[in-house]
Amino acid sequence: MVTRLNRPTVVGAAEVNSVADTHGLGHVVEFHECGEGMVNSNYRLVTASGTYLLRLYATERRREEIDLELSVLSHLHDAGFPVPRCVPALTGQSVGELAGRLFTVLTYLPGRTLAQDELGHEIVTQVGAAYARMRLLLNGFTPAGRKENAEEALADGLMAELLKQLADEDPGVAAEVGDVWSEVSSLFTPPTERHVVHGDLYFANTVIDDHGNLVGFIDFDDAYLGSSQLDLALVVMEFATPTDNVIDLDLATALLRAYANAGGPRPDADVFPQALLFLCCKFLCYTAQLQQQEGEPIEQNDYLRRLRHLRTRAVRDAVRRCVERAVDTVR
Protein backbone atom coordinates (compact mmCIF):
# COMPACT_ATOMS: atom_id res chain seq x y z
CA MET A 1 0.00 0.00 0.00
CA VAL A 2 1.20 3.52 -0.75
CA THR A 3 2.46 5.29 2.35
CA ARG A 4 1.98 8.95 1.44
CA LEU A 5 -0.97 11.27 1.03
CA ASN A 6 1.28 14.10 -0.17
CA ARG A 7 4.38 14.21 -2.34
CA PRO A 8 7.53 14.75 -0.28
CA THR A 9 8.93 18.26 -0.20
CA VAL A 10 12.45 18.22 -1.62
CA VAL A 11 15.02 20.64 -0.22
CA GLY A 12 18.64 21.10 -1.19
CA ALA A 13 21.89 21.86 0.57
CA ALA A 14 21.50 25.64 0.29
CA GLU A 15 18.09 25.56 1.98
CA VAL A 16 19.24 23.19 4.72
CA ASN A 17 22.32 25.29 5.43
CA SER A 18 20.14 28.38 5.63
CA VAL A 19 17.99 26.70 8.31
CA ALA A 20 21.12 25.62 10.20
CA ASP A 21 22.42 29.20 10.15
CA THR A 22 19.18 30.81 11.33
CA HIS A 23 18.86 28.24 14.13
CA GLY A 24 22.50 28.33 15.23
CA LEU A 25 23.03 24.61 14.55
CA GLY A 26 26.52 24.93 13.11
CA HIS A 27 27.93 23.49 9.88
CA VAL A 28 25.79 20.77 8.26
CA VAL A 29 27.80 17.58 7.91
CA GLU A 30 25.05 15.53 6.23
CA PHE A 31 21.30 15.50 5.71
CA HIS A 32 18.82 13.07 4.21
CA GLU A 33 15.09 12.42 4.13
CA CYS A 34 13.85 10.12 6.86
CA GLY A 35 10.67 8.77 8.39
CA GLU A 36 7.61 7.04 6.99
CA GLY A 37 4.99 9.74 7.47
CA MET A 38 1.98 9.97 5.20
CA VAL A 39 1.79 13.76 5.19
CA ASN A 40 4.91 15.67 6.28
CA SER A 41 8.46 15.60 4.94
CA ASN A 42 11.24 14.99 7.47
CA TYR A 43 14.98 15.43 7.12
CA ARG A 44 17.67 14.23 9.50
CA LEU A 45 20.38 16.87 9.89
CA VAL A 46 23.79 16.07 11.34
CA THR A 47 25.60 19.28 12.22
CA ALA A 48 28.62 20.40 14.20
CA SER A 49 26.43 20.74 17.30
CA GLY A 50 24.37 17.55 17.07
CA THR A 51 21.60 15.76 15.19
CA TYR A 52 18.26 17.37 14.44
CA LEU A 53 15.01 16.79 12.60
CA LEU A 54 13.83 19.31 10.02
CA ARG A 55 10.07 18.87 9.59
CA LEU A 56 8.29 20.45 6.64
CA TYR A 57 4.53 20.38 7.06
CA ALA A 58 1.84 19.72 4.48
CA THR A 59 0.50 22.84 2.79
CA GLU A 60 -2.83 22.60 4.61
CA ARG A 61 -1.22 22.57 8.08
CA ARG A 62 -1.99 25.77 9.97
CA ARG A 63 0.39 27.52 12.33
CA GLU A 64 -2.00 27.17 15.26
CA GLU A 65 -1.96 23.38 14.77
CA ILE A 66 1.83 23.34 14.88
CA ASP A 67 1.73 25.50 17.99
CA LEU A 68 -0.37 22.81 19.69
CA GLU A 69 2.11 20.09 18.76
CA LEU A 70 5.10 22.09 19.96
CA SER A 71 3.47 23.07 23.25
CA VAL A 72 2.71 19.41 23.98
CA LEU A 73 6.32 18.46 23.26
CA SER A 74 7.58 21.29 25.45
CA HIS A 75 5.31 20.26 28.32
CA LEU A 76 6.43 16.62 28.17
CA HIS A 77 10.11 17.45 27.68
CA ASP A 78 10.13 19.88 30.61
CA ALA A 79 8.65 17.10 32.76
CA GLY A 80 11.53 14.81 31.78
CA PHE A 81 9.54 12.62 29.41
CA PRO A 82 11.59 11.35 26.42
CA VAL A 83 10.27 13.22 23.37
CA PRO A 84 11.88 15.58 20.85
CA ARG A 85 11.89 19.29 21.70
CA CYS A 86 11.62 22.30 19.46
CA VAL A 87 14.82 24.17 18.57
CA PRO A 88 13.76 27.75 17.83
CA ALA A 89 15.57 30.11 15.47
CA LEU A 90 18.03 32.58 16.96
CA THR A 91 15.22 35.14 16.75
CA GLY A 92 13.13 32.96 19.06
CA GLN A 93 10.72 31.95 16.30
CA SER A 94 9.62 28.28 16.52
CA VAL A 95 7.93 28.01 13.12
CA GLY A 96 9.41 29.24 9.86
CA GLU A 97 8.74 28.93 6.14
CA LEU A 98 10.85 26.97 3.67
CA ALA A 99 10.12 25.80 0.12
CA GLY A 100 6.59 27.11 0.46
CA ARG A 101 5.93 25.06 3.61
CA LEU A 102 5.84 25.82 7.28
CA PHE A 103 8.66 24.07 9.11
CA THR A 104 10.15 23.52 12.51
CA VAL A 105 13.40 22.08 13.84
CA LEU A 106 13.32 19.40 16.53
CA THR A 107 15.96 17.52 18.46
CA TYR A 108 16.52 13.99 17.17
CA LEU A 109 15.96 11.07 19.53
CA PRO A 110 18.89 8.65 19.23
CA GLY A 111 18.09 5.13 18.10
CA ARG A 112 15.79 3.68 15.47
CA THR A 113 12.08 3.13 15.07
CA LEU A 114 10.51 -0.13 16.15
CA ALA A 115 9.41 -2.59 13.45
CA GLN A 116 6.11 -4.46 13.58
CA ASP A 117 7.81 -7.86 13.55
CA GLU A 118 9.74 -6.87 16.72
CA LEU A 119 6.60 -6.57 18.84
CA GLY A 120 6.95 -8.73 21.94
CA HIS A 121 6.29 -8.80 25.68
CA GLU A 122 9.41 -6.92 26.71
CA ILE A 123 8.90 -3.89 24.48
CA VAL A 124 5.10 -3.66 24.93
CA THR A 125 5.61 -3.75 28.70
CA GLN A 126 7.95 -0.76 28.39
CA VAL A 127 5.48 0.99 26.10
CA GLY A 128 2.59 0.42 28.51
CA ALA A 129 4.48 1.92 31.45
CA ALA A 130 5.76 4.87 29.44
CA TYR A 131 2.35 5.56 27.97
CA ALA A 132 0.81 5.61 31.46
CA ARG A 133 3.35 8.22 32.54
CA MET A 134 2.64 10.29 29.44
CA ARG A 135 -1.10 9.97 29.99
CA LEU A 136 -0.78 11.25 33.56
CA LEU A 137 1.30 14.22 32.37
CA LEU A 138 -1.18 15.15 29.65
CA ASN A 139 -4.46 14.75 31.54
CA GLY A 140 -5.54 18.25 32.52
CA PHE A 141 -2.85 19.99 30.43
CA THR A 142 -4.11 22.87 28.29
CA PRO A 143 -1.90 23.29 25.20
CA ALA A 144 -1.31 26.39 23.13
CA GLY A 145 -2.72 26.54 19.63
CA ARG A 146 -5.76 24.74 18.28
CA LYS A 147 -6.52 21.64 16.24
CA GLU A 148 -9.75 20.02 15.07
CA ASN A 149 -10.98 17.06 17.07
CA ALA A 150 -10.55 13.93 14.92
CA GLU A 151 -13.68 12.24 16.22
CA GLU A 152 -15.83 15.23 15.29
CA ALA A 153 -14.24 15.31 11.84
CA LEU A 154 -15.28 11.70 11.31
CA ALA A 155 -18.86 12.37 12.31
CA ASP A 156 -19.03 15.64 10.36
CA GLY A 157 -18.26 14.17 6.97
CA LEU A 158 -15.26 11.86 6.66
CA MET A 159 -17.22 8.70 7.39
CA ALA A 160 -20.03 9.71 5.04
CA GLU A 161 -17.45 10.22 2.27
CA LEU A 162 -15.93 6.81 2.96
CA LEU A 163 -19.28 5.02 2.92
CA LYS A 164 -20.15 6.69 -0.38
CA GLN A 165 -16.81 5.62 -1.85
CA LEU A 166 -17.29 2.07 -0.59
CA ALA A 167 -20.86 1.90 -1.92
CA ASP A 168 -19.50 2.61 -5.41
CA GLU A 169 -16.66 0.10 -5.04
CA ASP A 170 -18.19 -2.69 -2.95
CA PRO A 171 -21.74 -2.27 -1.55
CA GLY A 172 -21.31 -5.26 0.75
CA VAL A 173 -18.29 -3.72 2.46
CA ALA A 174 -20.10 -0.39 2.68
CA ALA A 175 -22.99 -2.05 4.52
CA GLU A 176 -20.58 -3.90 6.81
CA VAL A 177 -18.65 -0.79 7.79
CA GLY A 178 -21.86 1.25 8.06
CA ASP A 179 -23.30 -1.25 10.53
CA VAL A 180 -20.24 -1.03 12.77
CA TRP A 181 -20.14 2.75 12.56
CA SER A 182 -23.81 3.08 13.51
CA GLU A 183 -23.12 0.97 16.59
CA VAL A 184 -19.99 2.69 17.90
CA SER A 185 -20.13 6.28 16.67
CA SER A 186 -22.50 7.55 19.37
CA LEU A 187 -20.12 6.36 22.09
CA PHE A 188 -17.40 8.84 21.08
CA THR A 189 -19.16 11.56 19.06
CA PRO A 190 -19.64 14.17 20.24
CA PRO A 191 -16.49 13.76 22.36
CA THR A 192 -17.13 12.75 25.94
CA GLU A 193 -13.73 14.05 27.09
CA ARG A 194 -11.03 16.40 25.82
CA HIS A 195 -7.54 15.49 26.96
CA VAL A 196 -4.40 15.89 24.91
CA VAL A 197 -3.86 12.65 22.99
CA HIS A 198 -0.99 11.55 20.76
CA GLY A 199 -3.42 10.35 18.10
CA ASP A 200 -0.99 8.14 16.18
CA LEU A 201 1.14 6.20 18.63
CA TYR A 202 2.22 2.93 17.03
CA PHE A 203 5.44 1.00 16.51
CA ALA A 204 6.88 3.30 13.80
CA ASN A 205 6.50 6.29 16.15
CA THR A 206 8.42 4.49 18.88
CA VAL A 207 12.20 4.81 19.13
CA ILE A 208 14.33 2.00 20.58
CA ASP A 209 18.06 1.57 21.16
CA ASP A 210 20.38 -1.13 19.85
CA HIS A 211 19.32 -3.46 22.67
CA GLY A 212 15.60 -3.15 21.96
CA ASN A 213 14.90 -0.85 24.90
CA LEU A 214 12.44 2.01 24.63
CA VAL A 215 14.02 5.42 24.06
CA GLY A 216 10.90 7.54 23.59
CA PHE A 217 7.91 8.51 21.45
CA ILE A 218 7.95 10.72 18.36
CA ASP A 219 5.66 12.34 15.78
CA PHE A 220 3.12 14.32 17.79
CA ASP A 221 1.85 16.01 14.63
CA ASP A 222 -1.56 14.33 15.09
CA ALA A 223 -1.94 15.39 18.75
CA TYR A 224 -5.28 17.02 19.57
CA LEU A 225 -7.83 17.30 22.38
CA GLY A 226 -9.75 14.05 22.35
CA SER A 227 -10.62 10.82 24.10
CA SER A 228 -7.92 9.27 26.30
CA GLN A 229 -9.89 6.00 26.15
CA LEU A 230 -9.59 5.94 22.35
CA ASP A 231 -5.93 6.87 22.55
CA LEU A 232 -5.19 3.98 24.91
CA ALA A 233 -7.21 1.63 22.72
CA LEU A 234 -5.12 2.72 19.73
CA VAL A 235 -1.89 1.96 21.59
CA VAL A 236 -3.19 -1.48 22.56
CA MET A 237 -4.38 -2.29 19.05
CA GLU A 238 -1.21 -1.14 17.30
CA PHE A 239 1.25 -2.76 19.70
CA ALA A 240 -0.72 -6.01 20.09
CA THR A 241 -1.57 -6.64 16.44
CA PRO A 242 1.08 -8.41 14.37
CA THR A 243 1.10 -8.58 10.59
CA ASP A 244 -1.82 -11.05 10.41
CA ASN A 245 -4.22 -8.33 11.72
CA VAL A 246 -5.40 -10.60 14.55
CA ILE A 247 -5.02 -9.04 18.00
CA ASP A 248 -2.63 -10.89 20.30
CA LEU A 249 -4.40 -10.88 23.65
CA ASP A 250 -1.26 -11.90 25.54
CA LEU A 251 0.54 -8.80 24.25
CA ALA A 252 -2.52 -6.66 24.96
CA THR A 253 -2.65 -7.97 28.54
CA ALA A 254 1.06 -7.35 29.07
CA LEU A 255 0.78 -3.77 27.83
CA LEU A 256 -2.34 -3.00 29.86
CA ARG A 257 -0.91 -4.56 33.01
CA ALA A 258 2.24 -2.43 32.73
CA TYR A 259 0.07 0.61 32.05
CA ALA A 260 -2.05 -0.09 35.15
CA ASN A 261 1.00 -0.82 37.31
CA ALA A 262 2.42 2.58 36.32
CA GLY A 263 -0.75 4.31 37.51
CA GLY A 264 -2.48 4.85 34.18
CA PRO A 265 -6.15 5.90 34.45
CA ARG A 266 -8.41 2.86 34.50
CA PRO A 267 -10.01 2.02 31.14
CA ASP A 268 -13.66 1.01 30.81
CA ALA A 269 -13.57 -2.70 29.99
CA ASP A 270 -17.14 -2.70 28.70
CA VAL A 271 -16.47 0.10 26.19
CA PHE A 272 -12.97 -0.98 25.17
CA PRO A 273 -14.04 -3.43 22.42
CA GLN A 274 -16.18 -0.72 20.81
CA ALA A 275 -13.27 1.72 21.06
CA LEU A 276 -11.17 -0.67 18.97
CA LEU A 277 -13.93 -0.87 16.36
CA PHE A 278 -14.28 2.91 16.29
CA LEU A 279 -10.55 3.17 15.59
CA CYS A 280 -10.81 0.64 12.76
CA CYS A 281 -13.46 2.86 11.18
CA LYS A 282 -11.33 5.97 11.75
CA PHE A 283 -8.16 4.62 10.16
CA LEU A 284 -10.11 2.93 7.40
CA CYS A 285 -11.23 6.45 6.44
CA TYR A 286 -7.61 7.54 6.02
CA THR A 287 -6.14 4.43 4.42
CA ALA A 288 -8.98 3.74 1.99
CA GLN A 289 -8.08 6.99 0.26
CA LEU A 290 -4.54 5.72 -0.25
CA GLN A 291 -5.76 2.45 -1.69
CA GLN A 292 -8.09 4.24 -4.08
CA GLN A 293 -5.14 6.28 -5.37
CA GLU A 294 -3.23 3.06 -6.04
CA GLY A 295 -6.19 1.17 -7.50
CA GLU A 296 -6.04 -1.49 -4.77
CA PRO A 297 -9.21 -3.35 -3.70
CA ILE A 298 -10.64 -2.43 -0.31
CA GLU A 299 -10.51 -6.09 0.74
CA GLN A 300 -6.74 -5.68 1.17
CA ASN A 301 -7.13 -2.94 3.78
CA ASP A 302 -5.58 -3.84 7.13
CA TYR A 303 -8.19 -1.95 9.14
CA LEU A 304 -11.06 -3.63 7.35
CA ARG A 305 -9.50 -6.98 8.24
CA ARG A 306 -9.08 -5.90 11.85
CA LEU A 307 -12.66 -4.66 11.97
CA ARG A 308 -13.96 -8.03 10.80
CA HIS A 309 -11.88 -9.81 13.42
CA LEU A 310 -12.72 -7.47 16.30
CA ARG A 311 -16.46 -7.31 15.70
CA THR A 312 -17.06 -11.01 16.36
CA ARG A 313 -18.72 -11.71 19.70
CA ALA A 314 -16.01 -14.12 20.82
CA VAL A 315 -13.25 -11.58 20.23
CA ARG A 316 -15.19 -8.75 21.89
CA ASP A 317 -15.73 -10.86 25.00
CA ALA A 318 -12.08 -11.89 25.02
CA VAL A 319 -10.94 -8.25 24.77
CA ARG A 320 -13.24 -7.22 27.62
CA ARG A 321 -11.89 -10.03 29.84
CA CYS A 322 -8.33 -9.08 28.85
CA VAL A 323 -8.86 -5.50 30.05
CA GLU A 324 -10.51 -6.65 33.28
CA ARG A 325 -7.70 -9.10 34.09
CA ALA A 326 -4.99 -6.57 33.37
CA VAL A 327 -6.35 -3.82 35.58
CA ASP A 328 -7.80 -6.00 38.35
CA THR A 329 -4.46 -7.66 39.09
CA VAL A 330 -3.06 -4.26 40.10
CA ARG A 331 -5.61 -3.64 42.85
- Residue 146's pLDDT is 96
- Residue 2's pLDDT is 34
Range(s) of the domain holding residue 217 = 113-328
List the CATH number of the domain containing 80: 3.30.200.20
- Residue 328's pLDDT is 83
76 lies in some domain? yes
- The beta strand positions in 129-264, using DSSP E, are 195-197, 206-208, 214-217, 224-226
Phi–psi pair at 99, nearest 5 degrees: 55, 35
For residues 171 and 311, membership in a common domain is answered with yes
Strand partners, 106: 53, 86
- Residue 252's pLDDT is 97
- Residue 8's pLDDT is 61
- Residue 278's pLDDT is 97
For residues 69 and 131, membership in a common domain is answered with no
Looking at the structure of the chain, the number of domains it has is: 2
Neighbours of 111 (CB within 10 A): 18
Q: What DSSP assignment string belongs to 22-65? A: HTT---EEEEEEE---SS-EEEEEEETTEEEEEEE--TT--HHH
For residues 174 and 223, membership in a common domain is answered with yes
8 lies in some domain? no
| Domain final residue, candidates 66, 85, 108 | 108
For residues 149 and 84, membership in a common domain is answered with no
Neighbours of 220 (CB within 10 A): 24
pLDDT tens across the length of the chain (331 residues)? 333 344 567 889 999 999 999 999 999 999 999 875 557 889 999 999 999 999 999 999 999 999 999 999 999 999 999 999 999 999 999 999 998 999 999 999 999 999 999 999 999 999 999 999 999 999 999 999 999 999 999 998 999 999 999 999 899 999 999 999 999 999 999 988 999 999 999 999 999 999 999 999 999 999 999 999 999 999 999 999 988 999 999 999 999 999 999 999 999 999 999 999 999 999 999 999 888 778 889 999 999 999 999 999 999 999 999 999 998 876 5
The helix/strand/coil state of 194 is: coil
- Residue 77's pLDDT is 98
| Domain final residue, candidates 63, 86, 108 | 108
- Residue 330's pLDDT is 66
- Residue 203's pLDDT is 97
For residues 41 and 167, membership in a common domain is answered with no
2 lies in some domain? no
